Amino acid sequence: MQKRQIPASGGLTYGGTSRNEMGMTQAPSSSRPLRVTRAPAPLAGTVAVPGDKSISHRALMFSALAEGETRIIGLLEGEDVLRTADAMRALGAHITRDENGRWHVRGRGLGALTEPSDVLDMGNSGTAARLLSGILASHGMMSVMTGDASLRRRPMKRVTDPLAGTGATFLAREGGRLPLAIQGNATPAPLDYRLPVASAQVKSAVLLAGLNAAGETRVEEPVPTRDHTENMLRHFGAQVAVEETPEGGRIIRLQGKPHLIARDVTVPGDPSSAAFVLVAALLVAGSDVVISNVGLNPLRTGLFTTLREMGARLDITNERTEGGEPVGDLHVQASSLQAVDVPAERAPSMIDEYPILAVAAGFATGISRFRGVEELRVKESDRLASTVALLEKNGVRTKVDGDDLIIYGTQGAIPGGGTVETHMDHRLAMSASILGLVAENPVEIDDTAFIDTSFPGYFPLLNSLGAGFAA
C-alpha cells in the first residue's frame, strides 16, 4: 500500500485536503473527477487495507480521556479521523505521530478536557460529530461544532435529544442540524435510554456522556450494533456489562466515573474498506486476491455472510485476536453471483456496505431485495437515492418499495456509460469506481476526492492488483 507523509503540523497537503500552519484540516480545495474503464486483466496479489475508521475515532477520543500516554498502531490516517485528532487537540490532549506511523496520545483524564478556543470542524464525519457530542455534553464548557455541507445536512437530534437528559443544553439549526452550540454540564445526570433507531453512534454518544456521570448509564438497543465503544472502554478500564434481551436486542450498563488508564491500541484493517477490494475481485473475471489483517468483529461482517449466500468464493484464513478484536485474512476469487434477499435485522452489521453490495447485485443473476434500509437516507448522502441513481444511470434497473431496495441483476452485463454524482459521499465514489471496472462502457465519476475521508491510497492499492485506474 502506498504510504503518505502525514504532517504532525505544518502547511503540507494531505490527500485532497490541505492542512494549515497549525496542522488543522482545511476543506477539500477542488474536486477530482475520474473516468473509469474496464479492468485490463484479472486482479491478483495481496494487499492490506487501512485501519478501521470506527476503532480509530474511538482510540483517539478515549485515549484523550484517559490518564497517561496511549500508543495507537495502525490508526486510519483518513480525513475523518484526522478531524477527530484535531478536535481532541483543541480540547487539550497532546497528540503526535512518530516516524514509524505510530500515534501517541497524552490524555487529560476524565472530566478534564479544556474549553476549545475555536469552532470544532468535524468535516465529513458523522461518527466524529455524534460521539464527540456525548463527550462535550458531559464536560462543563461551551463548544460549537460544525462540518462540511454533507455533515451539516445530517440529523443530530438523534443524539441531542437523549443527551439533553444529562443537563447539557444545545442550540442547533432548524431540524437539529450543525452548526451546534453545546453548553456542557460538569455534573451530568446518568441516562437510561432505549434507542429508537439502530445506531452505534447514538449508543456511543450516550455511553460517552455516562463516563463523567455518577452512577449507572443504561442503553437498550433493539438490534445489536457495532460494539467497539463497549470493547474499547473496557480496554481502558471502564466497567461495561452487556446482557442479551429475549427479543434479540442488548442492554448495556456502564458504571460512571471509571478510572480510565492509557492502554496501547492496535487497529485492524477496516472491513468496510476491504469490501470494495473484495467485490472488485469477485466481479473482475479470473481474479484471485488476498486482503490481509481485516477486522472480523461479528457486528461488522454482514456483507461477508451476504456475499457467501450469493455464491462468493470467500475464505477466511489466519484467524486470530489482535487488540481485543478478531482479525483474519480474506482470500477471494472471482465468482458467478446469484441474487440475494437481505433481511432487515442484518442491516446494522453491514450498514456501510449497501452501495457496494448494490453493485454486486447489479452484476448478479436474478432479482435482489435489501430489506429495511431506511437508515441509508441519512448517511454522507441520501444513500438510498444515490445508490439507485448510480445503478440506473449505468443501465441497471432498480425499485424502491417502502424501505426496501430491489435490484434487477444484469447477469454480468452492466451497460455502464453513465455519469455518477457522488454528493460528497466516499462510499458512493468507491462503489462507482468498482462498477466502472466491470461495466461495458466507461463510467464518469464527478468527484473522487472524498475517498480520502476513509480510504487514503485507494486507487494506488487497487492499481497494485492490476485495476488500471487512471487516477
The grid coordinates listed for 82 are: 484526522
**Interface pick for ligand S3P out of 79, 352, 421, 452 (rule CB under 6 A):** 352
* Adjacent-strand bridge partners of 445: 34, 420
Question: Which listed range, 13-21, 69-77, 200-208, 283-291, lies at the site for ligand S3P (CB under 6 A)?
Answer: 200-208
Touching ligand S3P, residues 106-145 (CB under 6 A): 127
CA-based nearest residue to 294, from 330, 334, 333, 348:
330
* Position 428 contacts ligand S3P (CB under 6 A): no
* Position 199 contacts ligand S3P (CB under 6 A): yes
Spatial distance between the Cα atoms of 343 and 376, rounded to a whole number of angstroms: 15
Comparison of 199 and 266: residue with beta carbon closer to ligand S3P: 199
**Interface pick for ligand S3P out of 226, 235, 331, 426 (rule CB under 6 A):** 226
Touching ligand S3P, residues 53-82 (CB under 6 A): 54
Task: Give 120's DSSP letter.
Answer: E
For residue 102, count CB atoms less than 10 angstroms from its CB and return exposed for 0-12, middle for 13-18, buried for 19 or more: middle
DSSP output for 6-66: --SSSS-EETTEEB-TTS-B----S---EEE---SS--EEEEEPPBPHHHHHHHHHHHHHS
Comparison of 375 and 404: residue with beta carbon closer to ligand S3P: 375
- Sign, Cα dihedral of 167, 171, 176, 177: negative
**Interface pick for ligand S3P out of 25, 138, 201, 433 (rule CB under 6 A):** 201
* Position 200 contacts ligand S3P (CB under 6 A): yes
Annotated binding site for 3-phosphoshikimate: 53-54, 58, 199, 201, 352, 379
* Adjacent-strand bridge partners of 171: 181
Residue 423 falls in which region: left (phi positive, over 0), alpha (psi -120 to 50) or beta: left
Spatial distance between the Cα atoms of 412 and 334, rounded to a whole number of angstroms: 12
Question: Which listed range, 9-17, 194-202, 207-215, 330-338, lies at the site for ligand S3P (CB under 6 A)?
Answer: 194-202
Angle (nearest 5°) at CA 226 between 166 and 239: 55
Question: Which listed range, 96-104, 184-192, 196-204, 206-214, lies at the site for ligand S3P (CB under 6 A)?
Answer: 196-204
For residues 323 and 295, is the Cβ–Cβ distance under 8 A? no
* Position 267 contacts ligand S3P (CB under 6 A): no
For residues 256 and 214, is the Cβ–Cβ distance under 8 A? yes
User: What radius of gyration do the chain's Cα atoms show?
Assistant: 21
Spatial distance between the Cα atoms of 119 and 188, rounded to a whole number of angstroms: 23
Task: Give 308's DSSP letter.
Answer: H
Residue nearest to ligand S3P (CB): 54
Question: Which listed range, 19-27, 171-179, 193-201, 212-220, lies at the site for ligand S3P (CB under 6 A)?
Answer: 193-201
The grid coordinates listed for 176 are: 437539529
Spatial distance between the Cα atoms of 223 and 221, rounded to a whole number of angstroms: 5
* Position 297 contacts ligand S3P (CB under 6 A): no
Comparison of 138 and 454: residue with beta carbon closer to ligand S3P: 454
Size of the site for ligand S3P (CB under 6 A): 10
CA-based nearest residue to 372, from 362, 384, 361:
384
* Position 387 contacts ligand S3P (CB under 6 A): no
Q: Which residue of the set 352, 425, 447, 452 is catalytic? A: 352
Tell me, yes or no, if 447 is annotated catalytic: no
Annotated binding site for phosphoenolpyruvate: 53, 126, 154, 201, 383, 427
> Residue 42 to residues 358, 468, 469: CA-CA distances in angstroms?
21, 11, 13
Site string for ligand S3P, 312-351 (x = CB under 6 A): ---------------------------------------x
Touching ligand S3P, residues 204-223 (CB under 6 A): 204
Question: Which listed range, 4-12, 199-207, 278-286, 398-406, lies at the site for ligand S3P (CB under 6 A)?
Answer: 199-207
> Least CB distance from residue 335 to ligand S3P, whole Å?
26
Residue 432, φ and ψ in degrees, nearest 5: -65, -35
> Least CB distance from residue 9 to ligand S3P, whole Å?
27
Comparison of 160 and 201: residue with beta carbon closer to ligand S3P: 201
Comparison of 108 and 158: residue with beta carbon closer to ligand S3P: 158
Catalytic residues: 352
Residues that bind ligand S3P in the complex, under the rule CB under 6 A:
54, 127, 199-201, 204, 226, 351-352, 375
